[in-house]
């Protein structure tokens, strides 16, 4: 799975499809059986060595092998336009082929047997096996996974497990030494070292997901996905997830998910089997030097509110377009994406304290986090041909910084009326019957024509198309 960015390619580091890094215990308490791993690098025979530290780390890093059954279908017969043109020809009975892939994982709870890995390692798995440092092979149970953060949690049952302790990834600084452990190209228990090259990186490879990567030049390659990035005390700070590369191999641009982000997602996956996304209901953008000058600011750090969804938590708290976002929960915001990440990983009902600038005057607002589905609309209540689809307003939870407005197709049920006419999840409806759609109110008004024709103008990926519903 690749994505071109300029002349480089962002590549997931395993042969399956998407997941993330881990924490030690679910509540920040070191579980019994957890290796303390607080042994600093030593001098052995007069030569500096990481070997003593790695003796505590290696038993907690595992190899993951995945077997999945994939259907082989004719892609033309999946296209509703092709099927309609040729009179809805029947799809042949799909054939299956078996696919295998490998990745890495980290034991983060020795008592309960929780293993953190990337979602893309296990998302299509039918069977998952974990091989330990001592060569034991154990079948794993998938507890939950989250594509938006590329995190998955597995569980294995065995005695004598060793888990890594967890560092506070917010304490990382550029220049800190780190060590990567995993199974690049299937070569188990491979150790490489480097430094933290940058923090809070966004690569775009998760396609609108929540990204706050640690960039490192520690050599990581395909197969490292889900492995461990540790500090020199042997504490887990991140999990390698993807790389930039021209060839698919390492060129010194590797990215790992911070352990604090992974811990937050892991807790929800263990408790609920899924992540319930938070939202406040705004769209925004990064401040540029020109925008900062226009708003009378001395720095271009922070975010700018572009719009506020009517009836959203942000609207109820008094947030307005053109407000400048400076801090969230006491943390200075570098860009709008930081606020999006923070809100998206908070629990519904929690509060975020915002420091903003309005008309040059500082203000403090408290916003209560809401659900990302609370303002979704069901298509069957609007038009018969939209049945099976749900629609949501564009805000920080799904707009990924895009300022073009419109309404998001949140989900489309298979074989539903909406699916048959060609709607897809993540489509953005920007017009109906040649009239622009900027928000949910306009969409519901224009789409709520029972039995009437609807000409939908849709943005899909980097392109656009029209769909006629009648």
Residues identified as active-site:
120, 150, 225
CB 408 within 8 A of CB 283: no
Contacts of 224 (CB under 8 A, 6+ apart): 13, 14, 103, 104, 180, 182, 183, 184, 190, 240, 254
Give the bridge partners for 191, in sequence order. Answer: 181
C-alpha dist (Å) from residue 201 to 129, 304, 418, 469? 32, 19, 37, 42
d(CA 1, CA 245): 12
Q: How many CB atoms sit inside 10 A of residue 377's CB? A: 20
CB 162 within 8 A of CB 136: no
d(CA 334, CA 72): 45
CB 208 within 8 A of CB 410: no
SS (HEC) of the chain: CEEEECCEEEEECCCCCCECCCCCCCCCCCCCCECCCCCCCEEECCEEECHHHHHHHHHHEEEEEEEEEEEECCHHHHCHHHHHHCCCCCCCCCEEEEEEEEEEEEEEECCCCEEEEEHHHHCCCCEEEEECCCCCEEECEEEEEECCCCEEEEECCCCCCCECCECCHHHCCCCCEEEEEECHHHCCCEEEEEEEEEEEECCCCCCCCCCCEEEECCCCCCCCCCCEEECCCCCEEEEEEEEEECCCCCCCCEEEEEHHHHHHHHHHHHHHCCCCCEECCEEEEECCHHHHHHCCCCCCCCEEEEEECCCCHHHHHCCCCCCEEEEECCEECCCHHHHHHHHHCCCCCCEEEEEEEECCEEEEEEEECEECCCCCEEHHHCCHHHCCEEEEECCCCCCCCCCCCCEEEEEECCCCHHHHCCCCCCCEEEEECCEECCCHHHHHHHHCCCCCCEEEEEEECCEEEEEEEC
């Amino acid at each position: 799975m690749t994505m071109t960015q300029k002349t480089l390619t962002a590549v997931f580091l395993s042969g399956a499809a998407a997941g993330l890094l881990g924490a030690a215990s679910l509540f920040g308490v070191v579980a019994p059986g957890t290796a303390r791993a607080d042994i600093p690098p030593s001098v052995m025979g007069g030569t500096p060595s990481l070997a003593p530290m790695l003796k505590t780390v290696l038993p907690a890093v595992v190899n993951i092998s995945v077997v999945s059954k994939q259907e082989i279908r004719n892609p033309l017969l999946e296209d509703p336009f092709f099927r309609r043109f040729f009179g809805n020809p029947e799809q042949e009975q799909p054939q299956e082929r078996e696919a295998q892939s490998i990745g890495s994982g980290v034991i983060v709870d020795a008592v309960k047997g929780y293993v953190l890995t990337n979602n893309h390692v296990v998302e299509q798995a039918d069977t998952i096996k974990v091989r330990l440092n001592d060569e034991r092979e154990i079948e794993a149970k998938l507890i939950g996974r989250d594509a938006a953060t590329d995190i998955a949690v597995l569980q294995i049952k065995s005695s004598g497990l060793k888990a890594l302790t967890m560092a506070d990834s917010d304490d990382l600084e550029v220049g800190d030494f780190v060590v990567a452990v995993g199974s690049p190209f299937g070569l188990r228990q491979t150790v490489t070292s480097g430094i933290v090259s940058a923090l809070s990186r966004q690569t775009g490879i998760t396609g609108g997901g929540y990204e706050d990567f640690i960039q490192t030049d520690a050599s990581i390659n395909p197969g490292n996905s889900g492995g461990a990035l540790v500090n020199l005390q042997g504490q887990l700070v991140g999990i390698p997830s993807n790389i930039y590369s021209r060839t698919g191999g390492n060129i010194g641009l590797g990215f790992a998910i911070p352990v604090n982000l992974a811990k937050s997602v892991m807790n929800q996956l263990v408790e609920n089997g899924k992540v319930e996304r938070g939202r406040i209901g705004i769209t925004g953008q990064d401040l540029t030097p020109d925008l900062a000058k226009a708003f009378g600011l001395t720095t271009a750090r922070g975010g700018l509110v572009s719009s506020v969804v009517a009836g959203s938590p942000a609207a109820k708290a008094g947030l307005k377009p053109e407000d400048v976002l400076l801090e969230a929960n006491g943390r200075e915001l570098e860009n709008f994406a930081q606020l999006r990440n923070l809100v998206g990983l908070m629990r519904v009902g929690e509060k975020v304290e915002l420091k903003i600038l309005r008309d040059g005057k500082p203000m403090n607002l408290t916003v209560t986090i809401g659900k990302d589905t609370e303002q979704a609309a069901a298509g069957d209540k609007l038009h018969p041909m939209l049945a099976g689809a749900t629609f949501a307003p564009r805000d920080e939870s799904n707009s990924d910084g895009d300022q073009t407005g419109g309404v998001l197709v949140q989900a489309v049920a298979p074989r539903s009326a909406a699916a048959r006419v060609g709607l897809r999840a993540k489509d953005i409806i920007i017009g109906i019957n040649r009239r622009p759609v900027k928000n949910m109110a306009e969409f519901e008004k224009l789409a709520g024509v029972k039995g009437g024709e609807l000409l939908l103008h849709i943005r899909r990926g980097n392109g656009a198309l029209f769909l006629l519903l009648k």
